[in-house]
Every structure is written in structure tokens, then in C-alpha cells.
Amino acid sequence: MILIEEALQLIDAQASPLAPTKIAVTQSLGTVLAEDVCSDIDSPPHDKAMMDGYAILAEDLQQGKAQLKIIEEVTAGQVPTKALSSGEATRIMTGAPVPTGATAVVMIERTTVADDSPELVAINDASIVAGKNIMLQATSLKTGQVVLPKGTLIRPIEIGILSEVGRVEVLVQPRPSLAVLCTGNELVSPEIKPGPGIIRNSNGPMLSAQAQNVGAEVHYLGIGRDDEAELKSLITQGLQHDVLVLSGGVSAGVLDLVPKLLADQDVKQVFHKVSIKPGKPIWFGVKDHGDRKTLVFGLPGNPVSSMVCFELFVRQAIGKLLGRSDQALGTVKTRLAQEFTHRGNRPTLFPAKLIQQEDQKIVSPINWKGSADLGSLTNADVLIYFPGGDHVYAVDDEVDALIL
């Protein structure tokens, strides 16, 4: 039995970022760039107006005032055809190139055109100095410049920048493909009313949602009975993916066939059992296909154990495959809202509720009945980490909490 930290290190050592793949920019949200992206343009491509109004020569103004002759109107998508001389103005739209000779743009609200002399514009804006309301060419992006370095996480802003520099496809660490397989003769699908000794399979839909939540492409393989031939075929399918998450079948029971079948298919065990509660029986191994690997997680069948092991271990592996360093569970330092007695040698992750108290958040362990009690977890926002060993915690004691 190894420690949580050792388990995480062993997973990290096996989970290398996936081979970079070209995908559509519109599909790239949440992935990580596997190339330096350069700009193929200057942005703005020309000195451009930042306001709707008139391009002028700043030096034409006297205490902010002047009456100027309108020589041209440039709307969006058009370019000026006339250079501006002293005494002249060009009507211009936000984003349009300013004409040669212009040194400032006066916003439309500071100008008046009289009905009886529509060729003249009166300016009144004491704030105008050279450069005002003009964005110089290449201020935002320069041709050839690396605008997004390899390793950048693609957020909506980066999707905007990629589009601005002409990218419709981009090389990224792809989303890992992840198979979920639930094992056990006692399981039936949620639509079936379970008979004696039978339970509904809540882990399949839950683990699929957890995987989807952290950016994996999920393939749900359904329920595998404790039958060698059937399980073998499903495991073979699962090993076609980057990650195979099994639930059930890794404890020490008579019919826990999973470790044997995995060994038969050359999945090498990395560890089995971690000193943690819930989740002790977790199994982790790797199938090396030569050109790629499949990471195999055997999670305990009890739903809370499965849920916790996914958040703690599988989630970190998915983050590593995606090339993201920000995807392990977030931890907060917080204080206990009530006394709590921890017993046992294993470190425990105990479900708890965050409570806002004045300007800080404190945590209150929920009334939880153990690893088969998923029902109570709808009241939980965090898992409190209690180190191994018997200890009575007092109200206000500081604890670490992992945010669900």
C-alpha cells in the first residue's frame, strides 16, 4: 500500500502529453497549443480610427476649435483616397484607416455639421492632441511575431487571437479519448428496477460526466459481467483509448477478474492499493502499444470511492495528457465549523459543505455513511483532507479542503 503522493508521482511518470494533433480552432477550447503561433498580419493593418468621427490635423485646432472642410467620407471596409491637408477633415468610422497627413480623430459627438453648409464641420474638443483616437499600425500584433507560444492554454481570448491571425486549424495536445467500463454481476442499467441483490449502475454515468467535465472524449462501454470472455472483449475495446477507467472488480473478491484479464493483455501493473479512505483498492497500470500508451485505472466499485479516486487520480492524469498543469483538484485552507473525530491509519477525504461565515468560508463535514452512500454527497462542495491517525479536531481547527 503506497501513499497518495507516491501514487500521484507514479501516475505523472506514466502520463506524457499526447502526440500533437491539428484540430479546428472552433473545437480547441480548453486544449493546449503544441506550436508557436505567429501573426501573418500587422494589427491594426494600418493607422486606424478608434472612434467614429473626423480625421484631422491636431495643429489646426485653436483651443480645441476649428471649422474644417470635409473632403471625403470613409466607411468601414473602405480606404481613404485623399491625403489630408491643413483646414481639411475626413469623415471616418471606427476601425477605418486614417488618411495620410491626419494626426488625430475627433469623436462625432464633438462635431457639428450645419444643414446649410454640409461641406463644413465645426470641431469643439479641447482634449485633442497629436495621436488622439488613432491606433498605430501593428500596435497589437506584428507580422512574424509569436503571438501565442507553445504551451498556451486556449481560452476564448486565444480563439479570438488565433482567428485574428488567420488560423482555422491549430496544432494542440488533443483531448484524451477515455473509455468507461463498469464491472459486476450485480449491476443493471438505471432504467431497470433492480431485483434482490442487484443495484443500478450509477458509476457509469457519473464517471462519464466527471471525465467530460475535465476535457476527455468519453466512450462509455457499459456494464461488463463477471464473465471472462465478455470482460476480455470489453477490455480489448477499452485499450484502444488513451485512458481506460474500470469500476469494480479490483478488490479481493472471488470474482474480481479484472487484474488477471489486464495482465493477460499485457497491461503492466504500476500500483495496487493506496493508503486512502475511501478508495484504498485503486489499481493503476499501463499498456504500452509501442507508438502510444493506454493508462488503465481500476477504481473501486463503491460509488463514492469511484468518484473520489477519479477526482484525485484520473483527473490529474487527464490534465497531464492534455498538457495542462492547472487541472488537479484545487485545495483551499479553511476551518472546521464543528468538532470532528478522525479514526484510522489511512488519510481520509471526508465530504463537507462550504459555509459562508462573514468574509470567510468554513467547512462542515456532512452526515455521511461511507463509500456506498452517494445520496448524501449532493450536500458536499469539498472533500476535507484528514491525515492518517486518530485525532479529535476542534471547532476552528485549520484543515485542507479539495474543491469538488
Q: Are 57 and 102 contacting, i.e. CB atoms less than 8 angstroms apart?
A: yes
Cell 493546449 identifies what position? 32
Query: Which region among 8-16, 57-65, 114-122, 204-212 touches a copy of itself (by CB under 8 A)?
Result: 204-212
Looking at the Cβ atoms of 137 and 364, the one nearer to a copy of itself is 137
Site for a copy of itself in 65-104 (CB under 8 A): 73-79, 91, 93-97
Smallest separation, CB 293 to a copy of itself (Å): 25
Nearest-approach distance from CB 76 to a copy of itself, in angstroms: 4
Least distance in Å: CB of 265 to a copy of itself?
23
Spell out the residues 6+ positions from residue 260 whose beta carbon is closer than 8 angstroms to its own: none
Strand partners, 177: 217
Strand partners, 67: 122
Of 69, 260, 289, 369, the one binding a copy of itself by CB under 8 A: 369
Choose the stretch contacting a copy of itself; rule: CB under 8 A; options: 13-21, 59-67, 145-153, 258-266.
145-153
Residue 376 is a binding residue for a copy of itself (CB under 8 A): yes
Euclidean distance between the first and final Cα of the chain, in Å? 25
β partners of residue 385:
349, 400
Four-residue CA torsion sign, 125, 127, 131, 133: negative
Stretch that binds a copy of itself, among 118-126, 238-246, 248-256, 263-271 (CB under 8 A): 248-256
Whole-number Å distance between alpha carbons of 154 and 322: 11
x/- map, 33-62, a copy of itself, by CB under 8 A: ------xxx-xxxx-x-x-x----------
Within positions 215 to 244, which residues make up the interface with a copy of itself, using CB under 8 A? 226
Judged by CB, which is closer to a copy of itself: 10, or 38?
Answer: 38
> How does DSSP classify residue 378?
G
One of 272, 377, 385, 400 touching a copy of itself (CB under 8 A): 377
DSSP-derived pairing of the beta strands 120-124 and 111-112: antiparallel
Interface map 320-359 toward a copy of itself (x if CB under 8 A): ----------------------------------------
CB 246, CB 181: distance < 8 Å: yes
Question: The C-alpha cell of 398 is what?
Answer: 485549520
